[in-house]
Structure 1
Amino acid sequence: MSVAELIGFLLLAGAAAYAQTLTGFAFGLITMGGVGLTGLLSLPDAAMIVSVLTMVNATQMLLKGWRDVAWREFIFVMAASIPMLFVGYWLLGWLAGARADLLRLILGLVIIVSSLQLARKPEPLARRSGDGSFLFFGAIAGLMGGMFSTAGPPLVYHLYRQPMPLVKIRETLVTVFALNAVFRIGLVVFSGDLPSGSNLTGLLAIPAVMGATYAARRWPPPVSPATMRRIVFALLFLSGVSLGAPAVIHLLEASS
């Protein structure tokens, strides 16, 4: 990456970390959507760097919040998430070559659907969902995490419906994201698909992520959580449309 591209990536990662610290989600979606729009990195390389940055953000948040994790729900989610993460990673490699437009279209659709889902305020359930539901949503999270390092939206929606304190939901989500990131990084290293040296400069975003995480906890914005959700929704929806529309046009041109 050039100096200008690196600065742009640092700002993007910092904004994503700030949003995730306040809401418990959106780091991977914002970062991957921004990368897909700007072309700063290839999507596989970006997903690897996002995994590292997600782990940094999560570790910083969990230094004080690990006691609030809902461990039973966490275990069921991870039991299904880890195997599907491998499937998602394989799909990413299969699509990343000659099917780059299809990959961008899938990412755009994931971001659009996720933004629409997250725009709704989940209605809390009167009783906790069954263990099988955590396996199901954990599997979807693992598939999305393996492909784009964005394991959040379906799992976020499911957990926010549970009759649990918000702090417990947030810390459980962050722990899931952290462990998914660890497994994904290990998979990349094991398969030898590490980004090139120039793209690894994206890891310089680690201080930006740490600074944004601290700033969000120390100086939250003077807006309500609902307003913050709407802002994140608008950004995600527009980035998903902007990312998916050109891919559709290219695919139609190629088939004609």
Structure 2
Amino acid sequence: MSLTVLIGFLVLTGAAAYAQTLTGFAFGLITMGGVGLTGLLSLPDAAMIVSVLTLVNATQMLLKGWRDVAWDQCGLVMAASVPMLFLGYWLLEWLAGSHVDLLRLLLGLVIVVSSMQLARKPEPLPAQSGNGSLLFFGGIAGLMGGMFSTAGPPLVYHFYRQPMPLVKVRETLVTVFALNAVFRIGLVTVSGDFPSSSTLSGLVAVPAVMSATYAARRWPPPFSPAAMRRIVFILLLLSGISLGAPAVLHLLEISP
């Protein structure tokens, strides 16, 4: 990884960690979207590094917040998430080998749909959802986590509608992201698909992620959470469209 690429990756992951700390999710979406647009890394390698950095970000957040985790809901989500994570990882490897444009299109669609979800405030439910919904959304999250290390959107949609304290929602989500990252890293290691030593130099982004996480908590931006969500929405929407549109044109064999 050249110095220019490394600096770009540091800036990208720092911005993503800052946004995730303030919004509850977006680290994987911003990082993977930026990588897809710039071609800094291959998508499988980027997903691996995102898993490691997600774990760093989550661990830092949970050092103080672990007492607020809703462990019953977390357990149900993970029960459905882990098997689907294996499926998502297999799909990533298959598509990355022979269907790269389709893979880029899928990532673009994930980012666009997730950005639209982020833009709207979920309507709260009058009562806690049943276990079936936790298993359903946990499964979708596992599939997305296995493919792109972006398990956040379906779980954010589900948990932010529950009649639960916001701090409990946030810390539960972060715990799920951390556990998904652990399983995904283990899967990559067992599969022997670990990135090259050059690519792993991207892990020097760990200090950038930790610094951005601390900065977001210590010095939040001078505008409301709603405004922050709108800013992230615009950035994600534009990156998703920019990533998916060329893939569509190429799949249709239309020159841009």
TM-score class, shorter-chain normalisation, is over 0.9
Q: Aligned partners of 1:210, 1:144: CA distance in 2, in Å?
A: 24
- The one-letter amino acid paired with 1:228 is M
Q: How many angstroms does 1:197 deviate by?
A: 1.2
Q: Aligned partners of 2:118, 2:153: CA distance in 1, in Å?
A: 7
Structure 2: which 5+ runs fail to align? none
Query: Structure 2 matches for 1:134-173, cutoff 5 A?
Result: 134-173=134-173
2:111 aligned residue: 111
1:199 aligned residue: 199
TM-score normalised by structure 1 residue count? 0.98
- The one-letter amino acid paired with 1:180 is N
2:61 aligned residue: 61
Q: How many angstroms does 1:98 deviate by?
A: 1.7
Q: How many angstroms does 1:179 deviate by?
A: 0.2
Deviation string 1:17-53 (CA, Å, 9 cap, x unpaired) is: 0000111100000000000000000000000000000
Q: How many angstroms does 1:64 deviate by?
A: 0.1
2:13 aligned residue: 13
Structure 1: which 5+ runs fail to align? none
Q: Aligned partners of 2:198, 2:99: CA distance in 1, in Å?
A: 24
- The one-letter amino acid paired with 1:212 is A
Deviation string 1:93-148 (CA, Å, 9 cap, x unpaired) is: 11001200000000000000111111110011110001110000000000000000
Q: Aligned partners of 1:171, 1:137: CA distance in 2, in Å?
A: 17
> CA RMSD of the aligned region, Å?
0.7
Q: How many angstroms does 1:187 deviate by?
A: 0.2
SS, match of residue 97 in structure 1: helix
Aligned residues: 254
- The one-letter amino acid paired with 2:197 is G
Q: Aligned partners of 1:219, 1:146: CA distance in 2, in Å?
A: 33
Q: How many angstroms does 1:72 deviate by?
A: 1.1
Q: Aligned partners of 1:92, 1:11: CA distance in 2, in Å?
A: 25
2:235 aligned residue: 235
Q: How many angstroms does 1:228 deviate by?
A: 0.5
2:90 aligned residue: 90
Q: Aligned partners of 1:225, 1:156: CA distance in 2, in Å?
A: 15
1:225 aligned residue: 225
Question: Any runs of at least 4 consecutive aligned residues in structure 1 with deviations exceeding 4 A, and if so which?
Answer: none
Deviation string 1:53-80 (CA, Å, 9 cap, x unpaired) is: 0000000000000000011110110000
Q: Aligned partners of 2:115, 2:215: CA distance in 1, in Å?
A: 24
Q: How many angstroms does 1:205 deviate by?
A: 0.2
- The one-letter amino acid paired with 1:42 is S
TM-score normalised by structure 2 residue count? 0.98
Q: Aligned partners of 1:168, 1:228: CA distance in 2, in Å?
A: 21
1:129 aligned residue: 129
2:46 aligned residue: 46
Q: Aligned partners of 1:98, 1:83: CA distance in 2, in Å?
A: 24
